[in-house]
Amino acid sequence: MGVVAESVLAHGGNVIGVIPKALGSKEVAFVELKDLRIVGTMHERKALMAELADAFIALPGGFGTLEEIFEIITWAQLELHGKPYGLLNVEGFYDTLLEFLDKALAEDFIKTKLRRSVLVEQEPEALIEALLHAHAHRVTAVDLRKLI
């Protein structure tokens, strides 16, 4: 996350950091950020990040990445937000996950509309373009912090 934040800042972008107090002592907080928000819990962190975001991108990652993107997809399924989301499938990193989603769809565990809502691209520019053009349905504003 630090590398992405550094790159955004180097290219004149804006970065908002959100970190729970407990992680501040385990991970190095990006203290150079003009807007670093310290929250109490991981639940508060995810709710605030979801509230602040216009869209969601999962880069290749581990359990935390998967947990966060699936929570966002679940919130979309529950119509708690209408923001687009996608996977940056660098070098086919998410191919087996996509196969799993297709299997879950085939076995009626996932609805077609929700499966199609998961945007997938191999190049960052293509994914950003797809997110910009996504026609995510708009839901009345929901305060995601109420989910905590």
Give the closest residue to 86 by CA, choosing from 123, 44, 120, 52: 120
Task: Fold for 53-140, please state it.
Answer: Rossmann fold (3.40.50)
Predicted local distance difference test score (pLDDT) of residue 124: 94
Token pair 């504003």 is at which residue?
141
Give the closest residue to 88 by CA, choosing from 118, 49, 47, 46: 118
Q: What's the pTM value of the predicted model, to 2 decimals?
A: 0.82
- Tell me the per-residue pLDDT of 60-102, one tens digit each, with 9 for 90 and over: 999 999 999 999 999 999 999 999 999 999 999 999 999 999 9
Q: Is 87 exposed, middle or buried (0-12, 13-18, 19+ CB in 10 A)?
A: buried
Predicted local distance difference test score (pLDDT) of residue 25: 59
Q: In which residue ranges of the chain is CATH 3.40.50.450 found?
A: 53-140
Query: Band of the pLDDT at 103, cuts 50, 70, 90?
Result: very high
CA distances from 139 to 44, 71, 79 (A): 21, 17, 6
SS3 of 68-79: the string is: HHHHHHHHHHCC
- Report the C-alpha gap between 24 and 30 in whole angstroms: 9
Query: Band of the pLDDT at 28, cuts 50, 70, 90?
Result: low
| The pairing of beta strand 56-58 with beta strand 85-88 | parallel
